[in-house]
Structure 1
């Protein structure tokens, strides 16, 4: 087991008691009458609840509107029914087995001719696996009430989904994996393939909204995990119906480093190692780093959620809830918002391993200044960083009862031009905990409230409270703060707001695909008593 893996296991098994009173908000350990196995704990929340998301509805498994799929062709055929005007479309698609949906492995041009919404994504350039399987882009459009889910947490590989021109969609209990490759073409900038697992609203003309993504697991992707773009911010006047039309919730979801298949990552690096001359960027790194060190630096997830894809061109109608999510070794975008409103609560952003990797990597660069000079973007780029939640361009982000571990800048309010207030967003946090590396990060938490030691013996300094109080280390500090103001009215009240000291135990246990067991009816219903 690598040093990185050992630290990951240690961090996941570590426990620390740290309790402070909530400031300004009433909270409970669990919802009234709920237990971690109570289905009511996992009811729909946030903006998707305001939007009235029901998905395809609740049907028995023998209903003609319910279909089970176990192969790529069965899945694509079920999706094709969405646009079938002659027959009743499937409303519920249950995925019962892992699906390999790469463009080549799923049939290539012949399949694309049969299913026009199935297209080739940007081709793999370095991964032998993805060159063989291909990567597909699957467009889910024209739906009006659809649920795609798995009871067993099935995995979808080698495909990205564009969700557009539709309303009322549920995606639950699915794993997404194997859509990353080493970036030699742009030398570590990861600006070529544009592989996101899910993109909501990737259109300038049509509208999409009322989407609930729940209990999913996403492994490292080349680009973003779930991005929300133009088309998901209608109507233009951000009037009173904005929340009801556009509401999106991502809940009880995990983002994890690397791949669920350890061979997928290792085989890529072994191939680079066997042919270093063909990969100048990798070869340069090997001049002062081992293969295992490069893998450790590359394993974290670079980007989470981009909301608003075009600078200063987006409508303010984005309304997104991120609730009860676990982000392991995610380096940025929790989310990054360009205008609109996002509520974040019960988030566990655990970048502790990334912060420890940064410590030795930064020292290595300091000891090799000639190498470091070539890694700032010209000609190569290999940088570790730990950003948290970011609001820009008059966006509004509120974080409540959350934990940022190893995240040096939990809150940011400007990503481009701090001197220009039009690029600044409003962001604030309440009853939120920050844990940073003792010694190395003392300047970021100058007055820690406590110190904890994890299972591997590493010490962390801790601060918990609100962003608006004197001496807070939460931030933001990039630009002068602007007054907090929601763009689309007051957000929905969280239905389950756990005490911060309970958040990590509950979320790490119950988030992600395969973490809980529900009946068919319970998976299909957004509300369970």
Structure 2
């Protein structure tokens, strides 16, 4: 019942999250020493409850010269709204000349190579679009076979925001942010349908990735949702610096009944048809799983697993920048890599969270949960026999440094993997680079965090107990010279005189920057609040902002009621009608209480909380009485003139969910899901009288249908 969901939310809000206590189990029955460190050395961190300031860009993308506020472009010729694939491509083309600075995506875009069906003239015009190569072993997803997959290069572009106010979806294309792109912001978008069943099972048959930051600098990806892809989620290559990925949701929960239009359903249905018609070889992974007893629905749930998440640094060979014969420095070396991962949710991702070569990574308040996949794999004999999935976190290589602050790892068997000394882990390196990097010390650190897996639960730091704890189960120490000795970065001695095309033959010597400070301060929610907060706000359509507010980079923490145009899920508001100046009200908390307008804005009767519903929709929870009722359309009616009421919540009920339509003037329409957005909340007969009824009516953006959300802390 939705009622229970709401009561749980309010209980947490009023009472606070439970204090986490646990035994410190390591599989051998040992008990760890007390935590020796609770914050990352040489950082400035503020622990605080979630507020609007968490919407601000944080981390490396926030530094001077990073991403820019583009809210001033609303209503100008630099602002482009697109609803079709051609309009999107044209906007990207115009962004190269600087004539477009903002692209608002107002509809879902299918950008596959075949569905684009560009003419020869268009192929020349939009030469930044290319066909993605086919999978090595052929297609197992009929939709992708029919529509194809595209690569879309964003290049020669300085200053561009791509976003959606409604959480639109981009399908069948990889965005590739090239080195000639700078100051790129991507917000409130869904990315989907870049996956198919890999019948070999090695996740290497095709490189489909939702976004590749291929040398671009100063990139902020925020409040986006990424389903599973065939290769990476968002990868970083060629020396990109100034990167922040925040409030994003990566991956899927295991589900035996995925939507019939999902990539998983389509691909597994295709494989099942081949299986039942005896078209699969005995070497087929699908064949083996079915023969061992797994059902198609179990395999659908199993498929909600993404092997590789964030590759940061494409190869060992990129150890310094490439400089051509004319002295041009391409700034593409791995030593430049700088990324912040903040407030992200990861579901059933196998590894590379993140994996970094030479560069620097910083994680804040990330929630990594692999439990639904790992539980499935461990409970179904067919999966046990035919698959061994990884459940790993960070992996610093070639002298890289990665530090995680106040994060939660659930079902992750190895939060840290790799080796302290690179020479201990060279099996996947060419002999030349294994020799050159063998003396590099890798730094991984987790502080003020919690891990729960089959070995138990531990809360603390990866340096606790002399580095032996649940965080370090997958990490191989060498001499523990990096223990309790943090360096934010390293550098190869003499690198300025080295050539990328003619590397030396003797092993590199490294310098470690022990006094370097993290170049920005940051906020984090307390550890007990991480799971609830990140689940509530990460992903697309989790906060509702006006177009102007989505284009900002800094947000205020004002505790006084404001009439700004941002509406955040989880926050409290008084909702004022533009025509009457009066407030939406539920006079009592009894089920069936009809909604009216009132001038009184001091009582709980006119206070509402916004709670996330289905994607793009919200529930409006009345704070009167027990604060357990939501706005409800009596009898699930779609008739004009029906007076709305409050009632106990029902999960997924379309008669209790609403879309907040941004009117672009600081006001919103409150549109009903059940009408498909054609009807909205309306003060009957445009009345300004106290107690006038609030009804549903065909939406025309008239003053009595416009509402201002006044934030109340």
TM-score normalised over the length of structure 2: 0.60
Q: How big is the shift at 1:313?
A: 3.4
Cα distance in 2, alignment partners of residues 14 and 295 from structure 1:
35
- The residue aligned with 2:272 is 273
Please, which runs of 5 or more residues in structure 1 have no aligned partner? 1-11, 202-206, 233-245, 367-371, 376-381, 443-460
Q: 2:190 aligns with which of 175, 196, 221?
A: 175
Q: 1:112 to 1:123 in 2, by over 3 A?
A: farther
**TM-superposed deviation, 1:251:** 0.5
Task: Determine the structure 1 residue equivalent to 2:204.
Answer: 191
Give the number of aligned pairs: 454
1:156 is aligned, of 167, 170, 173, to 170
2:352 counterpart (305, 314, 333): 333
**Is the counterpart of residue 286 in structure 1 residue 301 in structure 2?**
no
Residue of structure 1 aligned with 2:536, choices 499, 509, 520: 509
Instruction: Report the counterpart of residue 376 of structure 2 in structure 1.
Output: 357
Provide, for residues 148-205 of structure 1, a one-character-per-residue CA deviation record: whole Å limited to 9, x for no partner: 1111111000100110122111111111000001123xx111212100101012xxxx
Measure the CA separation in 1 of the matches of 2:140 and 2:119: 22
In 1, distance between residues paired with 2:92 and 2:45? 41
Query: 1:4 maps to what in 2?
Result: none
* Corresponding residue number in structure 2 for 1:399: 404
Find the aligned partners of 1:392 and 1:311 in 2 and give their Cα distance: 9
SS of the equivalent of 1:279 reads coil
CA deviations over 1:110-159 (Å, ceiling 9, x no partner): 44333101111122522111011111000000111111111111100010
Deviation readout 1:487-514 (Å, 9 max, x if unpaired): 2742234421111111111111111110
Please, which moves more after superposition, 477-486 or 330-339?
Answer: 477-486
Match of 2:447 in 1: 430
In structure 1, what is the Cα distance between the partners aligned to 2:383 and 2:196? Answer: 24
| 1:248 paired residue number | 243
Distance 2:259 2:181 in 1: 33
Evaluate the alpha carbon distance shift between residue 341 and residue 29 of structure 1 in structure 2; reply closer, same or farther with a 3 A threshold.
Answer: closer
Residues 494 and 331 of structure 1, relative CA distance in 2, 3 Å threshold? farther
| 1:167–1:208 contact (8 Å) kept in structure 2 | yes
Equivalent pair of 1:93/1:148 in contact (CA under 8 Å) = yes
Distance in 2 between residues matched to 1:358 and 1:161, nearest whole Å: 32
Question: What is residue 157 of structure 2 aligned with on the other side?
Answer: 143
- The secondary structure found in structure 2 opposite 1:48 is helix
Pair 1:220–1:494, CA change in 2 (3 A): farther
Matched, 1:116 2:111: no
Q: How does 1:27-426 map to 2 (within 5 A)?
A: 30=48, 35=51, 38=52, 40-55=53-68, 57-84=70-97, 88-108=98-118, 110=120, 111-123=122-134, 125-164=139-178, 165-184=180-199, 187-201=200-214, 207-232=215-240, 246-257=241-252, 261-264=259-262, 265-276=264-275, 277-280=278-281, 281=284, 282-288=286-292, 289-311=294-316, 313-314=318-319, 315-361=334-380, 363-364=381-382, 372=385, 375=386, 382-414=387-419, 418=424, 421-422=438-439, 425-426=442-443
SS of match in other structure, 1:249: strand
Contact preservation (8 Å) 2:193, 2:229: yes
Counterparts of 1:27 and 1:64, CA distance in 2: 40
Higher relative contact order (CA 8 A, sep 6+): 1
**Residues 238 and 318 in structure 2, CA contact (< 8 A), matched pair in contact too:** no
Q: What is the CA RMSD across the aligned residues, in angstroms?
A: 2.7
- For the structure 1 residues 431 and 200, does the alpha-carbon distance in structure 2 shift closer, same or farther, using more than 3 Å as the test? same
Distance 1:355 1:284, change over 3 A: closer
- Give 1:97 deviation, angstroms: 0.8
After TM superposition, give the deviation of residue 278 of structure 1 in Å: 3.3
Matched residue SS, 2:116: coil
Post-superposition offset of 1:518? 1.5
Which is strand-richer, 1 or 2?
2
Q: Are the equivalent residues in 2 in contact too, given 1:326–1:347 (CA < 8 A)? A: yes
Deviation of residue 59 (structure 1)? 2.7
Worse overlay, 423-432 or 189-198: 423-432
1:210-231: CA deviation from partner (whole Å, max 9, x where unpaired): 1111111000000000100114
Q: What's the secondary structure of 1:321's corresponding residue? A: strand
Q: Which consecutive residues of structure 2, in runs of 5 or more, have no partner in the other structure? A: 1-8, 22-33, 320-333, 427-437, 491-515, 557-713
Q: Secondary structure at the match of 2:531?
A: helix
- SS of the residue 2:261 aligns to: helix
**1:472 corresponds to 2:480:** no
The answer for the alignment partner of 2:662 in structure 1 is: none
Q: CA deviation at 1:27?
A: 6.2
Distance 1:168 1:249 in 2: 11
Partner Cα distance (1:14, 1:133) in 2 = 47
Q: Within 2, Cα distance between the matches of 1:228 and 1:104?
A: 27
Q: Is 1:518 aligned to residue 545 of structure 2?
A: yes
Supply the distance in 2 between the matched residues of 1:263 and 1:61 (Cα, whole angstroms): 35
CA distance in structure 1 between the partners assigned to 2:441 and 2:232 by the alignment? 22
Task: Describe the superposition over 1:335-390 as per-residue Cα deviations: whole angstroms up to 9, x where unpaired.
Answer: 011111001110100111122123224x5466xxxxx4xx5xxxxxx431200111
Q: TM-score, normalised by structure 1?
A: 0.80
Shift of 1:424: 5.4
CA distance in 2, matches of 1:419, 1:193: 26
User: In structure 2, the residue corresponding to 1:93 is in which secondary structure?
Assistant: strand
> 1:444-489 CA deviation, whole Å, 9 max, x = no partner?
xxxxxxxxxxxxxxxxx32100111114221152342552322274
The 2-side partners of 1:473 and 1:160 are apart by: 36
Are the equivalent residues in 1 in contact too, given 2:109–2:169 (CA < 8 A)? yes
For residue 293 of structure 1, report the CA deviation from its aligned partner: 2.8
Per-residue deviation, 1:14: 13
